[in-house]
Amino acid sequence: MVKITNRTVFIVGGTYGIGRGLAQRFVDAGNTVIVGGRSPKTQGERGTVRIDVTDPDSILRARDQVLEAHPDLDVVVTMSGAMITEDLRDPAHIAATEVTIATNLLGTIRVIDAFTPHLIARGSGTILTVSSGIAFLPFPLMPSYGASKAGVHAYTESLRAQLAGTGIEVAELVPPAIATAGQEKINPAALPLDTYLDEVMELLAAEPTAHEILVKGVLMHRWAERDGTYAELVERRSQPLNTLPNR
């Protein structure tokens, strides 16, 4: 992405987890940061805007509120995400699919649509999407999640091509497992949030025009197909399916 100082940044999904941590890093680096989310608990905090990315009206209200207070807004981060495990042998999993796609994929697309006209009119800005290592290397316990994040990756690639020449940069954050959102309890390999954010900020500073923000811990996911490790890794990552009923 990105010059990372003197920007005005809206992190949608910045009330908890990676988004909240990134918001603090951006503040520390000399940026103005607004965070968005649904949770009423954080609504009283300064710079927090209520937004539900599964609700198109809510997105437009949040957009208007943010742009009225910050007409110089020039960075939008689409961090909101739902991570849900599913048992595809039970058709009831579709409820999880619906939430996942509505939040992670449609939500990302709608938030970008809400801000694109503003950024085009400014003639500069940055859109930072958030996919996952799972976009590139499945974790079979989370099929719709993987599909949504592969969708975010593919969409980001086309968005960048369509916005070429407008002055808007498009970059993609590709986190590996991070010790947030309950990962810290179930995944001992999850990276501590601060370790992850240290590396992200270093990468942003060192390579401001990178299309993808790839910390070392996600390279094995990102390049598994190229490196010939894909089949073996998918098999290994299928082991947790044993935790599902009747397996």
Ligand X SMILES: NC(=O)c1ccc[n+]([C@@H]2O[C@H](COP(=O)([O-])OP(=O)(O)OC[C@H]3O[C@@H](n4cnc5c(N)ncnc54)[C@H](OP(=O)(O)O)[C@@H]3O)[C@@H](O)[C@H]2O)c1
Which chain residues interact with ligand X by CB under 6 A? 13-19, 37-39, 51-54, 79-83, 103, 130, 132, 175, 177-178, 180-181, 183, 190
CB of 162 to ligand X, least distance (A): 22
CB of 123 to ligand X, least distance (A): 28
Closer CB to ligand X, residue 73 or residue 83?
83
Closer CB to ligand X, residue 72 or residue 113?
113
CB of 21 to ligand X, least distance (A): 8
50/66 Cα distance (integer angstroms):
10
Closer CB to ligand X, residue 38 or residue 124?
38
Closer CB to ligand X, residue 97 or residue 166?
97
Cα dihedral 98, 104, 106, 107 sign: positive
218/38 Cα distance (integer angstroms):
29
CB of 31 to ligand X, least distance (A): 18
11/34 Cα distance (integer angstroms):
6
CB of 80 to ligand X, least distance (A): 4
CB of 65 to ligand X, least distance (A): 14
Q: Are 199 and 216 a contacting pair, CB within 8 Å? A: yes
CB of 83 to ligand X, least distance (A): 5
Q: How remote is the C-alpha of 48 from its chain's centroid? A: 18
> Bridge-partner residues for 171, per DSSP?
128
Residue type, 151: G
Closer CB to ligand X, residue 156 or residue 180?
180
C-alpha distances in Å from residue 245, one per residue of 83, 87, 150, 234, 242: 20, 8, 27, 20, 8
Neighbours of 109 (CB within 10 A): 17
Closer CB to ligand X, residue 32 or residue 100?
100
Closer CB to ligand X, residue 120 or residue 184?
184
Residue type, 238: S
Q: What backbone torsions phi and psi does residue 169 show, to the nearest 5 degrees? A: -90, 145
C-alpha distances in Å from residue 167, one per residue of 32, 102, 111, 120: 20, 29, 19, 7
